[in-house]
Amino acid sequence: MQKITIPTAFNIDLEFETAEFLQRLVAWLIDFAIVMAYFIVSMHFLAEYEASNGRQSAGDGFWFNLSALQMILFTPCLVYHLVCELLMNGQTPGKKMLKLRVISENGGRPALYQFLLRWLVRFIDFISSFGFGALISYAVTNKNQRLGDLAAGTLVIKLKMQSNLDDTIFFELGESYQPVYANVLKLTDRDMNTIKNMLDRYHTGKTSLDMIIRTADTIRAALGIPNHQDNIIFLETLLKDYNHLSVK
């Protein structure tokens, strides 16, 4: 297990703990058991299909249908990890039970190509090398990464972290995002973190609306922005704009 510190654009370091080998092994065994259970049920279904359609007297249509059915039934076994990690935010059922997650090396959610690449290299990690590729790579790399993680630029971490992206002003914004207030960069990281903390406290009932209004009015005056937007939306927009513009 290694502690990884990832600097962000907001002068806040995120600290993660990489998943221990035993945790990853148990998570993998849970996922393997799920896949095998599905495989056994699929094989039983195929056997029933062959028996009910008369294998010996079957014609070309039977064999075509059987091949198509095999492809349909066995495809989920192949794409299980890829689909689960895409739909479950970097987790499979096994990882979820062990409180592990796949993240990008920059601390955020991996992109589609990263999930796809680590899934493709899985066949080298576990099948062609009988698991030794993943084991050796995990043991010798500084961040405990298997070959798929190295290729994709990803990490498997424990979800219990000393710091979290939710504690920063980080927002996951699409590439098409258009900032509204370009002069938001006149504010500092400290200013933006104060706004973020104030909004969090407001949403949990720990800060009054009057405080939000006073803060929004102060910022509008400092940046020369007219008062024509809801105060909460205005402050949230500032956070998004600052996030987008500060990493350009």
pLDDT, tens only, 161-185 = 544 445 555 666 666 888 898 888 8
> What confidence score (pLDDT) does residue 40 get?
94
> What confidence score (pLDDT) does residue 248 get?
58
> What confidence score (pLDDT) does residue 51 get?
78
Q: Which long-range contacts (CB under 8 A, 24 or more apart) does 55-64 make?
A: none
Query: Burial, 116: exposed, middle or buried (Cβ in 10 Å; 0-12, 13-18, 19+)?
Result: middle
Amino acid at 137: S
C-alpha distances (whole Å) from 163 to each of 17, 147, 193, 223 are 10, 27, 14, 31
Amino acid at 126: F
Is the pLDDT reported for residue 6 higher than 60? Answer: yes
**When comparing pLDDT for 64 and 197, which is higher?**
197
166: in domain: no
- Report pLDDT digits (tens) over 103-158: 888 777 888 999 999 999 998 998 888 888 888 999 999 889 999 999 999 999 99
> What confidence score (pLDDT) does residue 156 get?
94
Unique residue bearing structure tokens 């500032």: 238
Q: Which residues of 13-32 are buried (b: 16+ CB within 10 A; e: fewer)?
A: ebebbbbbeebbbbbbebbe
Is the pLDDT reported for residue 91 higher than 60? Answer: yes
Shared domain for 38 and 148, answered yes or no, is yes
Rounded to whole angstroms, the Cα distance separating 17 from 155 reads 10
Residue that is last in its domain, among 134, 158, 182: 158
**Mean pLDDT value across residues 201-206:** 84
Unique residue bearing structure tokens 């699929």: 42
Mean pLDDT score of the chain, rounded to an integer? 84
Is the pLDDT reported for residue 56 higher than 80? Answer: no
Give the three-state DSSP class for 18: strand
Residue that is last in its domain, among 132, 158, 184: 158
Give the three-state DSSP class for 47: helix
Task: Kindly give the residue spans of alpha helices, DSSP state H, lying in 183-230.
Answer: 189-203, 209-223
Shared domain for 181 and 154, answered yes or no, is no
Shared domain for 114 and 231, answered yes or no, is no
Distance of CA 6 to the CA centre of its chain: 16
129: in domain: yes
Shared domain for 125 and 182, answered yes or no, is no
> What confidence score (pLDDT) does residue 47 get?
85
**Mean pLDDT value across residues 192-215:** 85
Query: What is the residue range of 94's domain?
Result: 3-158
Shared domain for 78 and 179, answered yes or no, is no
The pTM is what? 0.64
Is the pLDDT reported for residue 82 higher than 90? Answer: yes
The total domain count for the chain is 2
> What confidence score (pLDDT) does residue 205 get?
85
Q: Which helix (H) or strand (E) holds 12?
A: none
Shared domain for 88 and 180, answered yes or no, is no
Shared domain for 180 and 95, answered yes or no, is no
163: in domain: no
Under DSSP, the state recorded for 111 is: P
> What confidence score (pLDDT) does residue 112 get?
93
> What confidence score (pLDDT) does residue 10 get?
47
> What confidence score (pLDDT) does residue 61 get?
67
Are residues 211 and 198 in contact, defined by beta-carbon separation less than 8 angstroms? yes
